[in-house]
Amino acid sequence: MGERGLIHPEPLLVSGAGEKSLRIILRSEQEGLWFFPKGGTSLWDVAASDALLRATGGKLTDKYGNEMDYSKSRTEAENVDGVVACYDQTLHAECIRIFLEGTWQDED
């Protein structure tokens, strides 16, 4: 996506779900995407971010494009299917499409 000019070609490493989401909402350093297609966050890590992104025209889902299910219990709160958050719904849809096609280049 960086090669196509959709996102910056060099990832910005930021720790913490809250800070990542805030950077997306504020477009800090032109940050626009948080692509984390694996477990490691919980529903409480992303609930406020999800609400703020929705209010500002963005979108937050799992790696398959599914909305987060906040009705789960504490013991089921891990986001096993990861997080994809973006300030722009069109860019979000493109990220999901590329991931589902299997053409996403991940260096992990």
**Is 45 annotated as contributing to ligand binding?**
yes
- pLDDT band at residue 42 using 50, 70 and 90 as cut-offs: very high
Report the number of distinct structural domains present in the chain: 1
Q: What average pLDDT does range 62-81 have in this prediction?
A: 94
Lowest mean per-residue pLDDT among 20-24, 29-33, 103-107: 103-107
Q: Is the pLDDT of residue 91 over 80?
A: yes
Q: For residue 2, is it within any domain?
A: no
Alpha helices in the chain (DSSP H): 17-26, 43-55, 89-101
Q: For residue 9, is it within any domain?
A: no
CB distance 38 to 82 below 8 Å: yes
Per the structure, the complete domain to which residue 58 belongs is given by 17-70+77-101
The CATH number linked to 52 is 3.40.190.80
pTM, full prediction: 0.80
CA-to-CA separations, 24 to 54, 56, 88, in angstroms, rounded: 12, 10, 10
Q: For residue 10, is it within any domain?
A: no
pLDDT for res 20: 82
Q: Is the pLDDT of residue 27 over 70?
A: yes
Spatial strand order in the sheet of 59-61: 33-36, 83-86, 59-61
Segment 3-24, tens digit of pLDDT: 766 666 676 667 777 788 888 8
Q: For residue 31, is it within any domain?
A: yes
